[in-house]
Structure 1
Amino acid sequence: MKRIIKGFQLSMLALIFVMAVTACGGNASNSGSSASNTAEKANSSGNESAVGDEVKITLLNSKGEIQTQLEDAAKAFHEDNPAITLEIQTVPGGSSPFERASTMYASGNPPTMIMLDTGDVEKFKDRILDLSGEKWNADAVANATDLTSFDGKNFAFPLAIEGYGFIYNKAVVDKAVGGSFDPSTIKTTADLENLFKQIEASGKKALVISPMDWSLGAHYLPLAYAGQNKDMAEVNKFMDSLKAGTADLANNKVFNGLMDTFDLMMKYNMDQKSPLSGVYERGPEVLGKGEVGIWFMGNWAWPQISSFDTANGQYGFLPVPISSNPDDYGNQEISSAVSKRIVLDKEKSTPEQQEAAKKFLNWIVYEQKGQDFLVNKASIIPAFKNITLPAADPLGQSIQAYIANGKSEQSMSTLPADHWSKVGASMQKYLAKAGDRATLAAEIEDYWKNVK
C-alpha cells in the first residue's frame, strides 16, 4: 500500500524509485515489455492500435518493485495472445500514480490500463470503464470491490492484498533472544524495546527507518487513524472529526502511543546520525544481509530483501505496538487491505484495446501463467478466491497467517492523493528533530482542515 504503501496502499509499496520505461518503435531493447515484432507496427502513442488485427495496449505501473516481473508477464501474455502487445510504463520517481495519470490525461495520451491506489479510483470514474460485468467480480475475496464501487458499479480490478509492519530477520532475532524467536511475544512497546536491546546486545543494529515520505505518510502515520477502533464506522467518525477540525491529536491516546513507538524507533535507528539520508534500497540491503534485525515496511519488499539474502533466511512480521496493554487494539494486529487497483481507460482507448486489456486481467486471474506471475513471480497476495496458490514468500505467508487468525487491521486505503507527501513531510521533520510532537499534531490537523 504500495502503498500503503498502498501503499498497502502498498504500494506499495519502492514504487517511486524506478526509472520510467517506454517502448520505442521496433527497437525491443528499449523496453523489456515489447514482446515481438508487432511492436514495430505500433504507433509510439500509448493508445494507438497496431496495424490490422494486432493491438497494442499499455499499463501504467505504480508498483515499481515488480516492474521486471510485469515486463516478463507482458511477454508471457503475448505468447498466449500473439495479436496483443502489452507495454509496461512506470510512474516516475517523485510522482504519485494519481499525478502521473492526471498528467497523461491532460496530454491526451492516457494508458489503456492504470494501476491506481484505492482512494484515487473515484477521481477517475468518469474516464474509466465500468467493470461490473467481468467474471472475476464473482471470484474476488469479500469486500474487495466495495471501495471502488459507485452507484452499484465496480470500476476497478483488485490487484493485490498488501500488509505492512515491522519485518524481522529471524536469524538475527533468534541469535538475539538465544533461541527460536516467537513473534507473538511482542505485544507492547516495552516488549518491542526489550527486543531492540537484545538485538543491539548481540552485536547487530536493532532497526533501520526508511525516511521516504510515502512510507511515513502513507503507511506509518495512518496506523493512528485505523487504530482508533476495530469498528471502521468509528474510524470514519474520527476521520470526519479531523476534517471538521474538532479532533485533538495532541491528546489522542492512539496517536501519542504510535508516536511513542516512533520515538523508540528513532532511538534505535541505525541511521539516527543522518535520519533523512536513507533511500528505499538501503532497507532491504541491511535487513537481507543481517546487519539489522527489523525494518518497518510491507510485503511488497520481498523481491529486494531476497536479492540481498544469500543464506535464504526466514522473515516475518511484527505488529506496531502502541501501548503497554497487550489487549489494546493494534498491538497484535497487522495492517492489511486490498491496495493496488487496475482501471481501464474509456476516453482514448479503442474498443479493441479495451477488450485486449480485459483479456489481460482475465489472464491474471484464470490462466496458470497469470497466476504464477501474480503469486510466485511478483510475490503478491491475490484478491481472488479461485487462486489457491499459497504465498510464495515468507512475508506473504506471514500476512496470510495474521489474516487467517483474525489479527488484521484495515489499512487506510482511501486517503487523499497528497496525504503521503504533505503529511509525510511533517513526519520527516519530526524524524529529523526539526519539529516537536505538538508541531506535528498541529500540522496534521491543519492538513485535514484544508482537505477539499
Structure 2
Amino acid sequence: MRKQLKVAISLACLMMFIGCSASPVSQQTTKITFLNSKSEIKTQLEEVAKQYNQEHPEVSLEIITAPEGTSAYQKLMSMYGSGSPATMSMLDPGDTQTFLDKAVDLSKEKWVADTIENGLDAVKKNDAVLGFPFAVEGYGLIYNKKVLDKATGGSFDPSSVNSRSSLNSLMAKIQKSGVAPVMLSPMDWSLGSHLLALAYSVQPGGFPEFVKGMQNNSIDMSQNNVMSGWVQTLDLLKDNNINKHAPLDSTYEDGSKALGEGKVGLWFMGNWAWNGIKSNDTANEEYGFLPLPLNDNTDDPNNSKITVGVTKYVFIDSTATTPQQQEEAKKFLNWLVYEKSGQELLVNKANVIPAFKNIDLVPSDPLSKSIKSYMSSGKTLPFMATLPPDHGAITGASIQSYISGKIDKAELLRQIRIYWKAQQG
C-alpha cells in the first residue's frame, strides 16, 4: 500500500512538473512594437501585422501610429522619456539621425546587399548600417498625358524633354493648345526642400564641398553654373505658372485639382500627390514624371533624371529591447523583403515603392510605376533627405520672395548662402 502511494505521489509530482513546465512554453510569445509615421497607411500596416502574427504565432507585432497632430519624432521622444521606446521606429531620414546611437547594427542583414544605390547613405555611421529603408518616393514634373498629347499632336514621348530648351518648347505648345503649362505650388517645403535641393544634388564637386564653399566664401554663387542654371529653370516655371500673377495664393490641393482636371499640363510635385490627383480625375487619364532640366546640354545625363530616394527608415532600438525582441524585429524586416506575403502586403496593400532590387512588384498607381521605370533604367538623382530641419522653411521663404518679385536673383542666391553660413558652429 505504501509502495503504491509512493508511486501515485511520484506520478502526481511528475504530471505537475510537466504541466508547470509546458504551460509557459505554449503561451510564450515575444512582443514587438512598430512606430508608424505614415498615418495614411495606418490601416494597411495593421493588416500587415495581423498577417505576420498569423504566420508567426510565436510573435506579437503591434503597430503604433503617431496620433493626429503629433509627429512620430515627438511621439518617440516621449516614449524614450518614459523608458519604453518602440522596438522598431519608422522616421524621416533627418529625424532618424537623432536616434542612430540607439539603433541596432544591421550591417550583416541579407537585404543590405539588395538595397538600391544610395539607399543606405542616410543611416550609415562608422561603417555600420543602422536603419532599414522602408519607402522610396520621387519627385519631378508630373504630367497629364492627355494634355501633352493634344499639345504635341501625337503620343507624347517623355524622353523628348532632356534640356531646358526642350522643356520651354513643350510649355509653349501646351500654352498654344489653350491650357496653362505648369502649376508651381508655393509651399516652402516644396520650393526649399525639393526644388532647391535639386541644384544641391547635381553639384559637380558634391554637396558637402558646395556647402563648405558657401560657408568660407570660396564659391561665388553667381558664378556657380549649376545655381545659375537652376535660377533660369526657376524663371521658366515662374513665367509659365498658371498663378504667375498671384504666385503665393495657390494651395497644395489646387495643384492636384488643376492637374487632375486638365487645367495645367505639368505640376512640380512628388508621387505622394497621387490620391489627390486621382480624386480630381474623372476621366482616368494617364500620368507620369518628367525631369526638370537645369541646363541646355542635351548630353548632360542629369537632365534626363528625376529625384528618387528613401524617405522613411526603420531602426531597431538597442537600449530597452531584449536580444530576443531585436532578433524578431530583424526577422520581420526580412519577411517584408524576401517573403511573398510580406512583399505583397508592403507593395499592393500599403502602396509602398520598395527600396530593394530583388522585389519586382510595383504599386498600381501610375506615378509609382513611372518612378520605378526611372529606377530600373538608372535615371535617378539622390533625394536630399537629411537637410537641416529649418532648411525648407527658410530657403523656401526666400524663393517665395523671388517668384513674387520682391527680390532679384542676386539677393536670392545671397540669402541661400547666408542660410548655409549660419549652419556653421
Same fold (TM over 0.5): yes
Structure 2 residues without counterparts, runs of 5 or longer: 1-26
Preserved contact between residue 36 and residue 42 of structure 2 (Cα < 8 Å): no
271-280 or 177-186: bigger deviation: 271-280
How do 1:217-232 residues align onto structure 2 when only pairs under 5 Å count? 217-229=192-204
**Amino acid across the alignment from 1:301:** A
**Amino acid across the alignment from 1:279:** T
Could you tell me how far 1:52 is from its partner in structure 2? Answer: 7.1
- Residue 65 of structure 2 corresponds to 89
- Residue 198 of structure 1 corresponds to 173
Q: Distance in 2 between matches of 1:258 and 1:67?
A: 38
**Cα-to-partner distance string for 1:312-338 (whole Å, 9 max, x where unaligned):** 322111111122332235322222233
- Residue 371 of structure 1 corresponds to 343
Could you tell me how far 1:85 is from its partner in structure 2? Answer: 4.4
Q: Distance in 2 between matches of 1:429 and 1:100?
A: 34
**Amino acid across the alignment from 2:377:** N
Change in Cα spacing, 1:278 to 1:115, as seen in structure 2 (3 Å) is farther
**Cα-to-partner distance string for 1:116-150 (whole Å, 9 max, x where unaligned):** 33344343221222222433324323443244222
- Residue 421 of structure 2 corresponds to 449
Aligned partner of 2:244 among 248, 265, 272:
272
**Amino acid across the alignment from 1:118:** P
Could you tell me how far 1:339 is from its partner in structure 2? Answer: 3.2
How do 1:377-396 residues align onto structure 2 when only pairs under 5 Å count? 377-396=349-368
139-148 or 197-206: bigger deviation: 139-148
TM-score normalised over the length of structure 2 = 0.82
SS in 1 for 2:90: strand
1:55 and 2:31 aligned: yes
**Cα-to-partner distance string for 1:143-177 (whole Å, 9 max, x where unaligned):** 43244222222100012333211010101111111
**Amino acid across the alignment from 2:191:** L
Structure 1 residues without counterparts, runs of 5 or longer: 1-50
Could you tell me how far 1:371 is from its partner in structure 2? Answer: 1.2
Preserved contact between residue 70 and residue 88 of structure 1 (Cα < 8 Å): no
Could you tell me how far 1:110 is from its partner in structure 2? Answer: 4.1
Q: Distance in 2 between matches of 1:426 and 1:219?
A: 14
Higher helix fraction (1 or 2): 2
**Amino acid across the alignment from 2:387:** L
**Cα-to-partner distance string for 1:363-401 (whole Å, 9 max, x where unaligned):** 321233321233223433322233122453322332233
Preserved contact between residue 144 and residue 285 of structure 2 (Cα < 8 Å): yes
**Cα-to-partner distance string for 1:31-72 (whole Å, 9 max, x where unaligned):** xxxxxxxxxxxxxxxxxxxx97473623131x4554454344
**Amino acid across the alignment from 1:195:** L
Q: Distance in 1 between matches of 2:178 and 2:395?
A: 35
**Cα-to-partner distance string for 1:267-292 (whole Å, 9 max, x where unaligned):** 22223344333333332232223222
Preserved contact between residue 30 and residue 324 of structure 2 (Cα < 8 Å): no
**Amino acid across the alignment from 1:58:** F
- Residue 9 of structure 1 corresponds to none
Q: Distance in 1 between matches of 2:253 and 2:54?
A: 33
- Residue 283 of structure 1 corresponds to 255
151-160 or 193-202: bigger deviation: 193-202
Q: Distance in 1 between matches of 2:354 and 2:29?
A: 32
Preserved contact between residue 247 and residue 445 of structure 1 (Cα < 8 Å): no
- Residue 10 of structure 2 corresponds to none
Preserved contact between residue 45 and residue 63 of structure 2 (Cα < 8 Å): no
Change in Cα spacing, 1:66 to 1:251, as seen in structure 2 (3 Å) is farther
Preserved contact between residue 303 and residue 379 of structure 1 (Cα < 8 Å): no
Preserved contact between residue 302 and residue 379 of structure 1 (Cα < 8 Å): no
Change in Cα spacing, 1:203 to 1:151, as seen in structure 2 (3 Å) is same
Q: Distance in 1 between matches of 2:119 and 2:362?
A: 19
- Residue 180 of structure 1 corresponds to 155
Between Structure 1 and Structure 2, whose CA radius of gyration is higher? 2
**Cα-to-partner distance string for 1:232-272 (whole Å, 9 max, x where unaligned):** x5443223212434322233221121122212212222233
Could you tell me how far 1:448 is from its partner in structure 2? Answer: 1.0
Could you tell me how far 1:439 is from its partner in structure 2? Answer: 2.2
Q: Distance in 1 between matches of 2:217 and 2:68?
A: 34
Change in Cα spacing, 1:54 to 1:130, as seen in structure 2 (3 Å) is closer
Q: Distance in 2 between matches of 1:64 and 1:288?
A: 24
Could you tell me how far 1:185 is from its partner in structure 2? Answer: 1.7
- Residue 229 of structure 2 corresponds to 257
- Residue 430 of structure 1 corresponds to 402
**Amino acid across the alignment from 1:282:** D
Change in Cα spacing, 1:417 to 1:345, as seen in structure 2 (3 Å) is farther
How do 1:52-451 residues align onto structure 2 when only pairs under 5 Å count? 53=29, 55=31, 57-61=33-37, 63-81=38-56, 84-90=60-66, 101-102=76-77, 105-106=80-81, 110-229=85-204, 234-349=206-321, 353-451=325-423
